[in-house]
Amino acid sequence: MARKYIYAVLALVAVLAFSGAANADQVGTLSLPDCGSGQAGCPAATYSFDISSTSATLTITITGATTTGVNDVITGVNLGFTTSNNVSGLQLIANPGGGWATVTTGSLSNNGCGGNGGAFICASGTGVGIAQNGTYTWTWSYTLGDPSQIFDVGDVHIGANYGPHNGLIVSETGAGTVETPEPASLALLGLGLLGVPFVRRRRS
Q: Residue 9 — pLDDT band, cuts 50, 70, 90?
A: very low
Q: Which sign, positive or negative, has the C-alpha torsion 178, 184, 190, 195?
A: negative
Which pLDDT belongs to residue 161? 95
Residues 77, 151, single domain; the answer is: yes
- Residues 100 and 94 sit within 8 Å (Cβ to Cβ): no
Give CA–CA dist 138/191, Å, rounded.
Answer: 38
Residues 7, 67, single domain; the answer is: no
Which pLDDT belongs to residue 129? 96
Residues 144, 60, single domain; the answer is: yes
Residues 77, 90, single domain; the answer is: yes
Which pLDDT belongs to residue 109? 84
Mean pLDDT confidence for 120-130: 90
Which pLDDT belongs to residue 67? 96
Write the pLDDT tens digit of every residue in 154-199. Answer: 888 999 999 998 889 999 999 997 655 544 444 444 545 455 455 4
Write the pLDDT tens digit of every residue in 52-99. Answer: 889 999 999 999 999 999 999 999 999 987 667 788 899 999 999 878
Residues 80, 92, single domain; the answer is: yes
Residues 14, 32, single domain; the answer is: no
For β-strands 73-80 and 120-129, DSSP reports them as antiparallel
DSSP 3-state of 68: coil
Give CA–CA dist 72/76, Å, rounded.
Answer: 13
Where in the sequence is the domain holding 99, given as residue range(s)?
23-180
